[in-house]
Amino acid sequence: MWVESKLFLSIDELKPGMITAEAVFNSFGNVLLWDNTVLNDQMINHLKNMGILTVAVYKHQQHEITDTARMAEENVRRFAAEYENDARHTKKIFEEISSGKRLNKEEADNIADSVIKKAGNNRYIIDSVMQVRNVDEYTYYHSINVSLLCMMIGKWMKLSEKDINNLTLAGLLHDIGKTKIAPEILNKPGKLTDSEFEEIKRHSEYGYYILKETAGIPAEVATAILTHHEKEDGSGYPMGLTGDQLNLYSKIITVADIFDAMTAKRIYKNNDTPFKVFELMQHGSFGVLDPLVLKTFLENVTGYYVGSKVRLNTEEIGEVVFMNKLDFSRPVVLVNNRYVDTMVSKTEKIVEFL
């Protein structure tokens, strides 16, 4: 197949319409362009400005670009259908427990297996996480998203196959205890009373007991469900444990849970831009999140936002072309043929993710 044949061309040999065969990185390891990107004049000039000398592209004819685009669209549709199917099955599990039934472990394992099979589709995963969902079904989509993010982090940390399987299942079931909380509290749009908030906080304990009553659930998975709201400095709940008392699954779930919760549009809040979330996680979570897990997550996930469309406070629309490792929340944005480094600019900043 033509997609197996690639050439390494100098930057001056690149032409609009060529398709990248490999991701293009700068000298700091940041992604400038992902593989399977159809090049245009603007992208080629950007690579020149960034000092890129050679780029791997596929040998192809013009009609094959159309074939590639068609295949990409089909892959997106297939991924979206599988994602929705996973959410429906997750909803079924939650509803069964709410009605008094025990956890269907076989069904949970099937969903986790489906999540793991999506490994390698990270761009689709990130796109799905960022989609606005029906707020009434937030818990089910959140469970799938956290499971997907946990699987990705496990892969990035090069965990064993067994650990990734367990971690993916733990991410899927981390909020299963919410099935034991009254819907009027769980879905309350206004501010919770102190007693309501205390009841919400008990979901990690409820989840632990649900899993302990389920045959075949690994002990470390149940423990991670119990402790996924604990923090490194002991400020979490339900037991106020510190980082040295938490297992790795718990630490990873915490990062995935916070990222998805902060980027999601929910009943009582609008979603933050990913860049605002990056800022809070990178600079506002010292002592709260495990530094190794957080570093692994941010250094890998932020690259998928290269190419994103954003709105600046000047009302201009731009495209993210470079992520600053020193401050992931302030990328370089291409706006009307000029580069805006939001880490340096004192007047321009990102206000909306499009």
Provide the annotated active-site residues.
Answer: 178
Q: Tokens for 310?
A: 């954003």
3-state SS assignment for residue 7: strand
Q: Tokens for 43?
A: 């992208």
Q: Which of 208, 258, 213 is nearest to 236 (CA)?
A: 258
With beta carbons less than 8 A apart as the criterion, state whether 211 and 217 touch: yes
Residue whose pair of structure tokens reads 């033509």 in the numeric block? 2
Q: How far apart are CA 321 and CA 31, in angstroms?
A: 9
Q: How far apart are CA 197 and CA 210, in angstroms?
A: 21
Q: Which of 39, 34, 259, 291 is nearest to 157 (CA)?
A: 291
Residue 240 region, left (φ>0) first, then alpha (ψ -120 to 50), else beta? left
Residue 61: CB atoms within 10 Å: 10
**Secondary structure letter of residue 194 according to DSSP:** H
Residue 22: alpha-carbon gap to chain centroid: 22
Residue 186: CB atoms within 10 Å: 19
Q: Which of 163, 154, 185 is nearest to 267 (CA)?
A: 185
Q: How far apart are CA 205 and CA 296, in angstroms?
A: 28
Residue whose pair of structure tokens reads 């004192």 in the numeric block? 346
Q: Tokens for 160?
A: 């064993």
Q: Is the peptide bond before 238 cis (omega within 30 degrees of 0)?
A: yes
Single-letter residue type at 298: L
Burial of 239 (0-12, 13-18, 19+ CB in 10 A): middle
How long a stretch of residues is the chain? 354
With beta carbons less than 8 A apart as the criterion, state whether 343 and 325 touch: no
